[in-house]
């Protein structure tokens, strides 16, 4: 009888091992820098730094998808050709080149909202750009990490001179849920007013997100001029973004047992210029960082938290993200007389002037006095806002970085009037 029991236990063990192996999660990462232009250096350096973290912590390169314009490393304004840095160093100390080995799968004009949706939803059949077919191949067993870095506005995240609306993002995440493309998903979002991208209904079950700011404020660049020096040489642009640098420098330490929630609390404390915010499933937040920023499938562990870094430098060298590209162009023009910087600076200033005038005209056409000075409503009518957003793109042209702050104006108009009136005001201000 004993020998029968022993044999049965041995058989059970033999059968159990492959079952456990098939239930272990696989790990994927989607890393996106939506912007272009040297004044937005920080976005691409953030994303390539994130790439290094994912690789160093074990996510296979085949499972990491990077979208970036790739116009920084070899930009004529870059004093270190072929390199990018996400942190300053003193003269005599070489910096860490985050661009080295950073595999960029989608570059140039392929970095668009439509292609981002295709990547997230695994739609390789829908990819029409030659040679561009790397999309998520995740399944119901996968742990997926998404990091998006760019400009933003209420209900909008930027892609160069176009944008993605919160309703488009929500639809993509819903498709991922419907098609069982993840077991758990984590989304880190760096943009102005990024907290507006996760209203109720955007995140699906087993999704968790943190954002650089709430839905009513700017995010912040960091390691900006004059603290933008690597090996004593000025880069001429902010090296990183405050929220992004804070989470990545924490992740670089790869402290054993640290959870997503613990990282959120540290980053919230350190990112003192904006309100870092979290959304979604707190059970996911209780899991180890390396389950999403690496390739582990660890059980939950005991609490672990510490803050040990030069927070004073990060804050001292920070600036409002909406001003960072303008400050970069001005700094380079004043210090080097660069014609490219002069063109950038002129373009940025003109863009702001045109956008401000256009939205003043929209408000006037809507007949709602004083709306520009009012706060963004706590609850945005995103159905009206989406209609207004599409009307603006149709009548006034693509959203530019200068216009993005006025996405809040559309939210205010939707709260003060109705969809038809807002659309009519936009058409009146921007006749075709």
Q: Is the pLDDT of residue 98 over 90?
A: yes
Closest Cα to residue 188, out of 246, 269, 139? 246
CATH code of the domain occupying 24-313: 3.40.50.1460
pLDDT average, residue stretch 184-200: 98
pLDDT of residue 224: 98
- Which among 415, 355, 404, 356 has a CA at the least distance from the CA of 382? 415
- Asked if pLDDT for residue 2 goes beyond 50, the answer is no
Residue at token pair 């981002």? 116
- DSSP line for 326-346: HHHHHHHHHHH--HHHHHHHH
DSSP state of 197: G
pLDDT digits (tens, 9 = 90+) for 113-154: 999 999 999 998 877 665 667 999 999 999 999 999 999 999
Identify whether 226 is preceded by a cis peptide bond (ω within 30 of 0).
Answer: yes
What is the per-residue DSSP string for 229-266? EETTEE-SS--EEHHHHHHHHHHHT--TT-BHHHHHHH
Q: What is the largest CA-CA distance in the chain?
A: 91
User: What does the pLDDT average to over 60-88?
Assistant: 97
Sheet containing 220-222, strands listed edge to edge, beginning at the edge strand earlier in sequence: 240-241, 220-222, 319-320
Task: State how far the Cα of 290 lies from the Cα of 200, in Å rounded to an integer.
Answer: 27
The 10s digit of each residue's pLDDT in 304-335 is 444 445 788 999 999 999 999 999 999 999 99
Q: How many CA atoms lie within 13 A of 311 on its CB side?
A: 13
**Domain parsing of the chain, residue ranges:** 24-313, 357-429
What are the DSSP calls for 267-293, one per residue?
Answer: HHHH-TTS--EEEE-HHHHTSBGGGTS
State the average pLDDT for the chain: 91
Residues 243-264 have pLDDT tens digits of 999 999 999 987 778 999 999 9
Which positions are catalytic? Answer: 151, 192
- 358-392 pLDDT, tens digit each: 999 999 999 998 899 999 999 999 999 999 999 99
Q: How far apart are the first and last CA of the chain?
A: 89
- Residues paired with 30 in a beta bridge: 65, 146
């Amino acid at each position: 009888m004993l020998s029968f029991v022993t044999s049965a236990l041995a058989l059970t063990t033999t059968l159990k091992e492959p079952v456990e192996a098939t239930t272990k999660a696989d790990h994927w990462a989607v890393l996106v820098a939506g912007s272009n232009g040297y004044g937005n250096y920080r976005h691409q350096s953030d994303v390539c730094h994130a790439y290094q973290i994912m690789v160093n912590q074990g996510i296979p390169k085949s499972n990491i998808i990077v979208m970036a314009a790739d116009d920084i490393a070899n930009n004529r304004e870059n004093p270190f050709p072929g390199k990018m840095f996400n942190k300053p160093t003193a003269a005599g100390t070489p910096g860490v080149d985050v661009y080295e080995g950073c595999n960029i799968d989608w570059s140039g004009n392929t970095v668009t909202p439509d292609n981002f949706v295709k990547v997230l939803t695994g739609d390789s059949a829908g990819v029409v750009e030659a040679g561009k077919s790397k999309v998520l191949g995740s399944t119901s067993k996968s742990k997926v990490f998404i990091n998006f870095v760019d400009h933003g506005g209420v209900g909008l995240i930027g892609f160069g001179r176009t944008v993605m609306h919160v309703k488009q993002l929500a639809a993509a995440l819903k498709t991922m849920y419907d098609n069982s493309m993840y077991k758990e998903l984590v989304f880190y979002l760096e943009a102005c007013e990024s907290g507006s991208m996760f209203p109720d209904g955007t995140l699906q079950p087993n999704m968790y997100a943190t954002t650089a700011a709430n839905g009513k404020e700017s995010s912040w660049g960091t390691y900006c001029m004059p603290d933008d020096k690597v090996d004593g040489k000025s880069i001429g642009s902010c090296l990183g973004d405050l929220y992004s640098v804070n989470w990545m420098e924490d992740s670089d330490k790869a402290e054993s047992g640290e959870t997503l929630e613990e990282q959120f609390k540290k980053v919230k404390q350190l990112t003192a210029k904006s309100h870092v915010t979290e959304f979604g499933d707190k059970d996911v937040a209780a899991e180890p960082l390396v389950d999403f920023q690496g390739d582990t499938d660890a059980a939950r562990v005991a609490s672990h938290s510490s803050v040990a870094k030069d927070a004073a430098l990060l804050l001292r060298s920070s600036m409002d993200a909406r001003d960072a590209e303008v400050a970069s162009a001005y700094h380079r023009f004043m210090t080097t007389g660069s014609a490219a910087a002069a063109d950038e600076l002129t373009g940025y200033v003109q863009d702001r002037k045109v956008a401000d005038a256009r939205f003043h005209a929209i408000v006037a056409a809507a007949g709602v006095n004083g709306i520009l000075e009012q706060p963004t409503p706590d609850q945005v009518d995103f159905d009206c806002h989406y209609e207004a957003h599409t009307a603006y793109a149709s009548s006034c042209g693509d959203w530019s970085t200068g216009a993005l702050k006025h996405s809040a104006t559309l939210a205010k108009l939707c709260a003060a009037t109705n969809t038809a009136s807002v659309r009519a005001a936009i058409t009146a201000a921007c006749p075709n």
